[in-house]
């Protein structure tokens, strides 16, 4: 029987910390299994070979320069499937915080009188520039979900990102609610799929997977205000990862 040729896979990083790509290196033996199913032809962080012939492109990082825009468009022309990998690619991630203050101010704060030499544009998630076929949310990505998505890609099936709150998974993990412990948490409005990772380890949800489609943010705002947190603080909670969508949340919250 003739063997099917393995799909060629490439990894590209834009503006980010490269932690989500590293999650692949952390898959251990699962990574070796993966290399039996696909041909990794381009993965600059760990290899020098730079294949330009690929069908599947994992995109890590957000779009923050004019050059990024050109580069992602070229990749879109070649790739049959584009997968946004991690918070920076799917929702803008922490890079989006810079959208909140004027770009000139951010440039000056970091680069001083050399600010003019820095090229930067508004932070955008990948799908704001090109069509994206699969989304793997999270900062960093959650390996079990990565494996689920890769299976879907290989089978040519869509992957539906959960559209319910982290609270659902958190309850199933029998964690004590952060609000019960006199803490606050973005779990009630954040998209699930991470198995309530941060809360399982005693921290709280920071909203790295983005908000669910209908986050009932007004209700969340009421809760936070009830406990004496300022509106600016709330905005910061909502916008640590989601500032590329900040205007929408500003509007929802300031109603």
Partner 1 sequence: MIKTSSNSTINAKDVKVDVHYLTRVEGHGNIIVDVKDGRLAKCEFQVIESPRFFESMLIGRSIWEAQHLTSRICGICACGHSLASIKAGEDALGIKPSDEVVMLRKLLLHSEMLDSHILHIYVLVAPDLLGVKSIMPLIKTDKPIVEMALRMKRMSDYAGEVLAGRHIHPISYVIGGLTQLPSKEGLEKLYKLMLESRKDTDETLKIFKKLKFPEFQRPTQYMSLTSDEEYALYDGDLVVNGKNKTKVKYYKQLFTETVVEYSRAKIATINNKPYAVGALSRFNNNSDKLHKKAKAAAAELGLKAPCHNPYLNTVAQLVEWVHCLEESITIMEKILKNGLDEKKVLTASWPKRSEIGKVTYKPNTGIGCVEVPRGSLFHEYTIDTSGHITASNCVIPTNQNMGNLEEDMRQLVPQVLGKKTQEEITLDMEMLARSYDPCISCSTHLLDVKFV
173 counts as binding partner 1 under rule CB under 8 A: no
Question: Cα angle at 15 between 54 and 192, to 5 degrees?
Answer: 85
3 state SS of 174 = coil
Alpha-carbon distances of 228 from 217, 223, 232, 236, 254, rounded to whole Å: 17, 9, 12, 15, 17
Nearer to partner 1, 163 or 231 (CB): 231
- The string over 64-80, giving b where at least 16 C-beta atoms fall within 10 Å of a residue's C-beta and e elsewhere, is beeebbebbeebbeebe
Buried/exposed code over 207-227 (b: 16+ C-beta within 10 A; e: otherwise): bbbbbbeebebeebbeebeee
Q: 85, 60 in Cβ contact below 8 A?
A: yes
Is 98 an interacting residue with respect to partner 1 (CB under 8 A)?
Answer: yes
Q: Which of 9, 11, 23, 136 binds partner 1 (CB under 8 A)?
A: 23
CB of 195 to partner 1, least distance (A): 11
CA 43 remoteness from chain centre: 19
| The only residue of 7, 122, 159, 179 in contact with partner 1, by rule CB under 8 A | 179
Instruction: Establish if 176 lies at the interface with partner 1 (CB under 8 A).
Output: no
Q: Which residues, 46 to 75, sit near partner 1 by CB under 8 A?
A: 46-50, 64-65, 67-68
- Told to check if 78 binds partner 1 by CB under 8 A, we report no
Q: If binding is defined by CB under 8 A, does position 129 make contact with partner 1?
A: no
CA distance 189 to 238: 9
Binding mask 203-222 for partner 1 (x = CB under 8 A): xx-x----------------
User: Considering CB under 8 A, how many residues would be counted as binding partner 1?
Assistant: 70
Q: Does 21 bind partner 1 (CB under 8 A)?
A: yes
Q: How far apart are the first and last CA of the chain?
A: 64
Please give the residue ranges that form the binding site for partner 1 (CB under 8 A): 13-23, 25-26, 28-29, 31-32, 35, 40, 43-50, 64-65, 67-68, 93-95, 97-98, 101, 105-107, 109-111, 114, 117-120, 139-140, 179, 181-184, 197-198, 200-204, 206, 227-230, 233, 236, 240
């Amino acid at each position: 029987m003739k063997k099917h040729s393995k799909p060629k896979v490439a990894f590209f990083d834009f503006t980010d910390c490269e932690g989500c790509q590293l999650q692949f290196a952390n898959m251990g033996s699962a990574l070796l299994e993966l290399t039996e199913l696909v041909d990794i032809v381009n993965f600059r962080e760990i290899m020098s070979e730079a294949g330009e012939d690929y069908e599947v492109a994992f995109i890590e990082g957000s779009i923050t320069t004019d050059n990024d825009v050109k580069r992602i468009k070229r990749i879109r022309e070649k790739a049959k499937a584009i997968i946004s990998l991690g918070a920076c690619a799917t929702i803008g991630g922490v890079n989006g915080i810079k959208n909140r203050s004027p770009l000139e101010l951010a440039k000056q704060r970091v680069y001083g009188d050399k600010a003019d030499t820095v090229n930067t544009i508004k932070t955008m998630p990948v799908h704001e520039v090109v069509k994206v076929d699969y989304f793997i949310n999270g900062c960093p990505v959650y390996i079990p979900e990565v494996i689920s998505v890769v299976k879907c890609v290989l089978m040519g099936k869509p992957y539906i990102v959960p559209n319910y709150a982290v609270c659902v998974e958190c309850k199933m993990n029998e964690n004590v609610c952060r609000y019960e412990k006199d803490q606050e948490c973005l779990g009630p409005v954040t998209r699930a799929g991470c198995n309530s990772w941060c809360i399982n380890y005693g921290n709280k949800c920071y909203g790295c997977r983005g908000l669910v489609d209908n986050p009932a943010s007004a209700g969340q705002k009421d809760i936070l205000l009830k406990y004496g947190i300022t509106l600016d603080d709330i905005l910061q909670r909502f916008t640590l990862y989601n500032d590329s969508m900040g205007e929408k949340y500003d509007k929802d919250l300031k109603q």
